[in-house]
Amino acid sequence: MANPAVYAVADTVPEQDRSAGGRPRMYPVFMWVLFDALLSVYGSGRRVESELAHPLVWDRLRELVVARFPETPYMWLPEMPMRRHHYLYGRTRYLAAPEILDEIGVVHREFAAEQARLLGLLDPDGVGSWTHPDLGRVLYADGKVITPLFIAKPGDKLVDKQTGEIHYPRAETDASFHIEGTGEAAWDQVRDRRDA
């Protein structure tokens, strides 16, 4: 709730057009964003709904919102906790709309880069390189298996049967055997993918 990115993402959703009537939104848009973020914490919408429904959790959220928006009561949360169907409506109708998704992507990249810089990451003068940054400069690291450009392995040699001349074919020096998720051994090039 203290992260300004939650509210910036919520601001990508246009104000409700009340000219044709219709019910006002029961919850501010930032609650759709918060609910969406909590899905990765609790694993399901029903679980998020259950957590938000706990009186201590919901009352604390309401206090935090009033403290953040003391002069804007329309941002305050009602007494009734947000339910899963409220989130699903907001996600389906607004958050998943292509034009809003594009804006969310822009906002997310800007805030993610700024937050990474505040943590001391993304230092252009830091150790490592663009393709192999030092682990001290990243928040997340994973491996990506890339098929080598060359079939030969380092140290392989070819002998020309007519001349007896020995050739050393081009090979990927950092390719090696590894075990795939299926348990099979494969000769591939493993590159680190480290995302900030």
- Provide the CB-side half-sphere exposure for 45 (13 A, CA): 12
pTM as predicted: 0.63
Higher pLDDT, 155 or 58: 58
Confidence at 146, pLDDT banded by 50, 70, 90? low
User: Residue 138: left (phi > 0), alpha (psi -120 to 50), or beta?
Assistant: beta
What integer pLDDT is reported at residue 143 of this predicted model? 59
pLDDT tens figures, 8-36: 999 999 887 777 777 888 999 999 999 99
For residue 145, CA distances in Å to 111, 131, 152, 188, 195 come to: 29, 14, 17, 6, 16
Every domain of the chain and the residues it spans? 4-118, 135-195
pLDDT for res 55? 94
**pLDDT for residue 168:** 85
For residue 95, report the phi and psi dihedrals to the nearest 5 degrees. Answer: -65, -25
What whole-number distance in Å separates Cα of residue 66 and Cα of residue 77? 8
